[in-house]
């Protein structure tokens, strides 16, 4: 939140932002002071502190454990405007180890919906994505052969467990500038279940993302599936208004935002350990 907005924000939001600074310096799982302690520290009522804590809970920055207290949450995978981290970068940001196993690499067949011309030579890179050695997702990227040649991407390079496509693009001066994304939950197919270790009635979240360079050139078209137990999506909703009722720039929640809450919308990965797992 900008300094000016913070100055005029309700006290509970000011406290929430101060706590965010504190949380940023703590490790996941660290215990926060109790609400009575925070109320005394900030010189406010318990009600005000509770609202601040609830704000942090809504943003996924902290978790509550019944009878134990409030703790710093494991950093989730989040997307804000300009987020566009690679899977590797996002997982590493949570303190976990990302890797992959190359399932297939070679010529791809054009399909309806791909933002490529029918006659364009394409390459498929199919990877099983791992977090701490545990299969979490499958990413099937379709790339232009011209792009592949330009960035020197080879099967051997793609087979490196630490390979990150976005980082490789960055290294060759092709940063991902924007992307479109769609999500669909569906029953897992037999191959999905085998790769991700899902039960017979397992569900996956299918994610399709098209990524673009600043000049609009297509960089990556990925069709991914995620274990639905470890994937969720959060969106910030704007208030409803009557048709034809124009909002001012200050009232329009669709205008560019600087509020810290806007940085926590999008996909989240985790938990890495589910009930019953060791």
pLDDT tens per residue across span 13-40: 889 888 988 887 888 788 999 999 999 9
In terms of Cα–Cα distance, which of 141, 140, 137 is closest to 268?
137
Residue 259 lies in a domain: no
Of 107-116, 161-170, 199-208, 224-233, the least confident: 224-233
Q: Are residues 62 and 181 in the same domain?
A: no
Instruction: In whole angstroms, give the CA distance from residue 165 to residue 90.
Output: 13
Q: What is the CATH number of the domain that holds 124?
A: 3.40.1410.10
Residue 246 lies in a domain: no
Q: Are residues 178 and 101 in the same domain?
A: yes
Pairing of strands 98-108, 122-131: antiparallel
Q: Are residues 137 and 186 in the same domain?
A: yes
In this model, does residue 272 exceed pLDDT 70? no
Q: Are residues 138 and 175 in the same domain?
A: yes
Residue 251 lies in a domain: no
Q: Are residues 107 and 39 in the same domain?
A: no
Q: Are residues 219 and 127 in the same domain?
A: yes
Residue 257 lies in a domain: no
Tens of pLDDT, residue by residue over 122-159, are 999 999 999 888 898 999 999 999 999 999 999 999 99
Q: Which two tokens stand for residue 196?
A: 């991700």
Q: Are residues 104 and 227 in the same domain?
A: yes
Residue 273 lies in a domain: no
For the chain, what is the mean pLDDT?
Answer: 80
What confidence score (pLDDT) does residue 102 get?
A: 97
Long-range contacts of 186-193 (CB under 8 A, 24+ apart): 188/225, 192/138, 192/225
Residue 158 lies in a domain: yes
Give the mean pLDDT of 245-271.
Answer: 46
Q: Give the C-alpha distances (Å, rounded to integers) separating 222 from 22, 71, 125.
A: 37, 35, 9
In terms of Cα–Cα distance, which of 55, 124, 129 is closest to 91?
129
Residue ending a domain, among 30, 49, 73, is: 73
pLDDT grade for 223, boundaries at 50, 70 and 90: very high
Helices 11-24 and 35-42, interaxial angle, to 10°? Answer: 110
Q: Are residues 110 and 55 in the same domain?
A: no
Residue 73: in which H helix or E strand, if any? none
What confidence score (pLDDT) does residue 41 get?
A: 94
Q: Are residues 20 and 137 in the same domain?
A: no
What confidence score (pLDDT) does residue 4 get?
A: 47
What confidence score (pLDDT) does residue 83 get?
A: 47
What confidence score (pLDDT) does residue 258 get?
A: 38
Task: Tally Cβ neighbours within 10 Å of residue 238.
Answer: 11
Residue 47 lies in a domain: yes
What confidence score (pLDDT) does residue 278 get?
A: 41
CB 212 within 8 A of CB 178: yes
In this model, does residue 101 exceed pLDDT 60? yes
Q: What is the CATH number of the domain that holds 50?
A: 1.10.10.10
In this model, does residue 47 exceed pLDDT 90? yes
In this model, does residue 266 exceed pLDDT 70? no
Residues of the domain holding 223: 87-234
Q: Are residues 97 and 53 in the same domain?
A: no
Q: Are residues 3 and 53 in the same domain?
A: yes
Q: Are residues 37 and 106 in the same domain?
A: no
* Number of domains within the chain: 2
Residue 50 lies in a domain: yes
């Amino acid at each position: 939140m900008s300094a000016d907005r913070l100055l005029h924000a309700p006290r509970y939001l000011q406290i929430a932002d101060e706590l965010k600074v504190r949380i940023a310096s703590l490790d996941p799982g660290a215990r926060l002071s109790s609400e009575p302690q925070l109320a005394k520290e900030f010189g406010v009522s318990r009600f005000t502190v509770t609202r601040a804590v609830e704000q942090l809970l809504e943003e996924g920055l902290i978790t509550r454990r019944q009878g134990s207290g409030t703790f710093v949450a494991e950093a989730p995978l989040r997307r804000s405007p300009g987020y566009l981290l690679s899977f590797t970068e996002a997982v590493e940001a949570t303190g976990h180890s990302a890797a992959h196993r190359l399932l297939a690499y070679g010529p791809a067949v054009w399909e309806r919906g791909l933002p490529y011309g029918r006659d364009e030579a394409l390459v498929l890179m199919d990877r099983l994505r791992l977090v701490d050695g545990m299969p979490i997702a499958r990413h099937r990227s379709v790339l232009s052969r011209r792009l592949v040649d330009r960035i020197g991407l080879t099967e051997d390079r793609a087979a490196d467990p630490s390979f990150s496509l976005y980082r490789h693009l960055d290294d060759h001066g092709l940063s991902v500038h924007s992307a479109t994304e769609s999500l669909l939950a569906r029953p897992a197919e037999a191959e999905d279940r085998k790769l991700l270790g899902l039960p017979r009635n397992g569900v996956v979240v299918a994610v399709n993302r098209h990524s673009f360079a600043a000049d609009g050139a297509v960089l990556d078209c990925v069709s991914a599936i995620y274990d639905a137990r470890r994937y969720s999506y959060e969106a910030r909703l704007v208030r409803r208004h009557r048709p034809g009722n124009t909002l001012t720039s200050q009232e329009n929640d669709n205008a560019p935002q600087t509020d810290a809450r806007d940085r926590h919308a999008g996909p989240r990965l985790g938990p890495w350990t589910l009930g019953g797992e060791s």
